[in-house]
Amino acid sequence: MTTLSIIGGTGLGQLAALTITRHETLSTPYGKPSADFLIGELHKKPVVFLARHGNPHHIPPHKINYRANLWALKQLGVKDIIAVAAVGGITPVMKPAHIAIPDQIIDYTYGREHTFFDGNDASVTHIDFSYPYSQKLRAALIHSAASLDLKVSPIGTYGCTQGPRLESGAEIARMERDGCDIVGMTGMPEAALARELDLHYASIAVIANWGAGKTANEITMAEIEENLHHGMANVGSLLQAFMSTYTS
Ligand code: HPA
């Protein structure tokens, strides 16, 4: 049984080290997931890979069918999810190409299908979300980074914006006052939907750029791609170390 899934974001549309044994095209009561699920082995352990933005990368953050993605992963028997995501850095330690394992979330998105409990059931359900990320998976990732001597930020608050535009300088300043360390566009509702389905979920956030207004320059796609390229090499090593100790 494949119990681990890796969801790849911008800069991680595929996993080079993945040995694919089958492609699974799934449909769900919520519609179509972002892409086929690639089922195989990563460093000799079973894994399901999903490209969050589709394959090739074409679905913007606000159009991703998060419910279909998470529902399908549950149907496949997945229990643990490592979500890789590109983010902007807000607080000083969150420098481009650095990696963070966030422990908290603030949701600034709107208009997304963000729950499975949308009132069509008989009962009204409020999940606990005090600690949005799985402590077990976070601890394993932090331990794996330490085993590699890879410096990662072991905590951080992820602010999720609607996109697809980047933020204004004032929006980033407000997010910093709110307590956000990093900013991305896909962490929500993904993390909450995982919790609703009782899936353990943790994220590897790769800093692609300084958040808007943190430097005098505008943010360019070239800069984002360059930093992601460096950061993703470390994500590959981190995943390898994580897989070597992972047990379902
Ligand atoms: N803001 C939001 N999402 C992002 C950013 C950013 O600056 N960089 C990469 N993803």
Please give the pLDDT value at position 1: 66
Per-residue pLDDT reduced to its tens digit, 168-225: 999 999 999 999 999 999 999 999 999 999 999 999 999 999 999 999 999 999 999 9
Pairing of strands 104-107, 157-160: parallel
Burial class (CB in 10 A: 0-12, 13-18, 19+), 239: buried
- The answer to whether 53 and 10 have CB atoms below 8 angstroms apart is yes
- Give residue 145's pLDDT band: very low, low, confident or very high (50, 70, 90): very high
Tell me which amino acid residue 197 is: L
| pLDDT of 2 higher than 80 | no
Task: Give the global pTM.
Answer: 0.96
Would you say the CB of residue 87 lies under 6 angstroms from ligand 1?
Answer: yes
How large is the average pLDDT for residues 81-105? 97
Please give the pLDDT value at position 122: 63
Average pLDDT, the chain: 95
3-state percent breakdown (helix, strand, coil) of the chain, nearest 5: 30, 25, 45
Per-residue pLDDT reduced to its tens digit, 51-60: 999 998 899 9
Q: What percent of the chain has pLDDT over 70?
A: 98
| pLDDT of 119 higher than 90 | no
Q: What percent of the chain has pLDDT over 90?
A: 90
Please give the pLDDT value at position 25: 97
- Sign of the C-alpha dihedral computed for residues 59, 12, 56 and 70 taken in this order: negative
Q: Probe ligand 1: pick from 209, 214, 220, 225, max atoms within 8 Å of CB?
A: 209
For ligand 1, the distance from its centroid to the CA atom of residue 236, given in whole angstroms, is 21
Q: Which domains does the chain have, with CATH numbers?
A: 4-115+128-245 (3.40.50.1580)
Atom of ligand 1 nearest to the CA of 209: 8
